[in-house]
Amino acid sequence: MSRHTELEDDDIPLLQQLLDVRQDIPGLKVIIALGGWDFLEAIPMKDIFSVMISAAANRAVFIASVKIFLNQNNLDGIDINFEYPAAIEHNAPATGVL
């Protein structure tokens, strides 16, 4: 599993606008959202979560990548939307992984 810890160039100004709002609203948390319906059905993303959680090493890479991304971009957290993680047709992980 590879690491992805950088923003696309088009996203940088949008993120900065969001981060600038924090100056006006003390305590505002800025988080990223990852996942959703496209990660369930759309190729090439449909198996990303299943592959990521399939092995401890993959999960470790994901967690490390998220930490790097959050720190590099001054973000407060992540919202992960894993649609139907137990669906057998989507390579459901072994019980207890989630």
Q: What is the pLDDT of residue 49?
A: 76
Domain-wise residue ranges, the chain: 11-90
Residues designated catalytic? 83
* 43-56 tens-digit pLDDT: 666 677 777 878 89
Give residue-wise pLDDT tens across range 31-47.
988 877 666 666 666 67
Per-residue pLDDT reduced to its tens digit, 48-97:
777 787 889 988 998 999 999 999 999 999 998 877 665 555 555 555 55
Mean pLDDT, all residues of the chain: 78
Q: What is the pTM of this model?
A: 0.71
Nearest-angstrom CA–CA distance, 12 and 16: 6
Residue 60 to residues 14, 15, 48, 57, Cα–Cα distance (Å): 29, 26, 14, 5
Mean pLDDT to the nearest integer, 17-26: 90
Burial class (CB in 10 A: 0-12, 13-18, 19+), 49: buried
